[in-house]
Structure 1
Amino acid sequence: MTASTEDLRKLLGPVRYVLWDLDGPICRLFAGHPARDVARELVKLIERLGLGGLLREEERGDPDPQAVLLGVNARHPDSDLIALLEDWLTEQELAAVPTAMPTPYTDPLIRTWSALGAGFAVTTNNSASAAAAYIESRHLGGCFPYIYGRTKDLDRMKPHPHCLSRALQALGADPSHALMFGDAGTDYQAAQELNVPFLGYARNQRKLEALMSAGVEPTRIVRSMDEVLTALKGMH
């Protein structure tokens, strides 16, 4: 049983600032440029550089390019190599933007919430440039004055709270009046570090189970953005 309308109203009542993960709550970034293919190409690039020995077997088949990148970073935190690979992944994310799929009901939710006075920031493990490109493609730039994404220092990716901390500071936000909206356990962990309330988005059963395994209460998870939009409208 996920969040009821009453659960959502209680959670949303104090919220004045929303920290949004990009890939999941806002869009499916790799909908038309599959992440699995990007991860496979990243493995090939690492092998062409003569560094295939840095990859574990599970990373070679991992469908998440960020997991491949983080695996290399854990065993070879060489700034030049990581900078090269991170730049390459950023290019792939930018290439994915034109075919990214908006999460149903998120655009109207963003516009409605923003019109009601909420302050927004994007806090993502994707590159800030890709996040900004997607936001602009949806004509939502006016709603998002702050966008924080992956840097060359991969140790500061979520679950590290770095990007959330920067967003809270920029917004001048009291954590108790903020909300982190994410779809992964790493989003929840980062929010927990800063005592920021969390709302999880689970578009399928796999995402739901992953959030619950990370410790997210079912009453803090929605299956559709329409549920949040309905609760928000009912409060005003």
Structure 2
Amino acid sequence: MMQPRTAIFDLDGTLVDSARDLMGTLNFILAREGLPALPVERAQSLLGAGARALLERGFAECGQTVEPARMDVLYRDFLDYYGEHLADETVAFDGVEEALQTLKSRGWLLGICTNKVTEHSVRLIEALKLTPYFSAICGRDAFAWFKPDPRHLTLSIEAAGGDPTHAVMVGDSKTDIDTALRAGLPSVCVDFGYTDIPATQLGATHVISHFDQLISAIDAITGLTAQPALSK
């Protein structure tokens, strides 16, 4: 029996445009600390490595260095506030659901590997009504390792019921593509996500500009042509 193929997706900047809610939470913390708000346009260079990194980068943008113990407190406060606002303005990128439907109809296993905490990831996917597509949602706290450690990716594949030798990573940042490279997996990079390094320079197997290009990119990676949908 042929091993099912698996597609593992990053979340923020790949499946969903969450910049306004994440930057809104960062600005809530900055304002509380007496610092100016940062424009949402800064998301491209600030997001992509998880909430703690976002906080550290945000304070650095304001010329502030925060001691680790204080950052621990700010990080917990960030998670608490964000948990109440994670789906205020966040939306799935155009074409996401159609691409997920196509992959599922072909028998692919789908999962999420993100540096967002698992609870928030699950709740966000539920709010966007995308839960039925995914066999596993694995945040930075799901295992002892998180991206760019390749074990976060390979364990996410296994959690989805897949085999890392038959898998593809889809992401938007250096963190995602480095993780795939370290795991020895092919990758697709979207060029509309959160990175200040051009997607074409990250080393992905393929780069796409819209989710309507994902299936052809994955077909090229797997050496497959379009397949008929599975009968129900």
Using a 3 Å threshold, how does the CA distance of structure 1 residues 215 and 94 change in structure 2: closer, same or farther?
farther
2:112 to 112, 122, 145: 122
Higher helix proportion (structure 1 or 2): 1
Report the alpha carbon displacement of residue 118 of structure 1 after superposing the two structures with TM. Answer: 0.8
Q: What code does the residue aligned with 1:234 have?
A: A
Match of 1:38 in 2: 25
Conserved? CA contact 2:9–2:113, under 8 Å: yes
Conserved? CA contact 1:20–1:180, under 8 Å: yes
Task: Output the CA distance in 2 between the equivalents of 1:195 and 1:24.
Answer: 22
* 1:15-49 deviations in Å (ceiling 9; x for gaps): 71011111122110234x3x43332333345x47x
Residue 183 (str. 1) matches residue 183 (str. 2):
no
Q: Name stretches of at least 5 consecutive residues in structure 2 with no aligned partner.
A: 36-41, 60-64, 220-224
* 1:141-178 deviations in Å (ceiling 9; x for gaps): 2221211113399x944223343132123234332310
Task: Output the CA distance in 2 between the equivalents of 1:194 and 1:90.
Answer: 33
Helix, strand or coil: the match of 1:97?
A: coil
Using a 3 Å threshold, how does the CA distance of structure 1 residues 90 and 118 change in structure 2: closer, same or farther?
farther
Q: Name stretches of at least 5 consecutive residues in structure 1 with no aligned partner.
A: 1-13, 53-61
In the comparison of the two structures, how many residue pairs are matched? 204
1:151 to 124, 135, 141: 141
Using a 3 Å threshold, how does the CA distance of structure 1 residues 101 and 157 change in structure 2: closer, same or farther?
same
Task: State TM-score, norm by structure 1.
Answer: 0.69
Match of 2:226 in 1: 234
Helix, strand or coil: the match of 2:19?
A: coil
Residue 214 (str. 1) matches residue 202 (str. 2):
yes
Q: CA-atom RMSD, angstroms?
A: 3.6
Residue 69 (str. 1) matches residue 69 (str. 2):
no
Conserved? CA contact 1:94–1:130, under 8 Å: no
Report the alpha carbon displacement of residue 119 of structure 1 after superposing the two structures with TM. Answer: 0.8
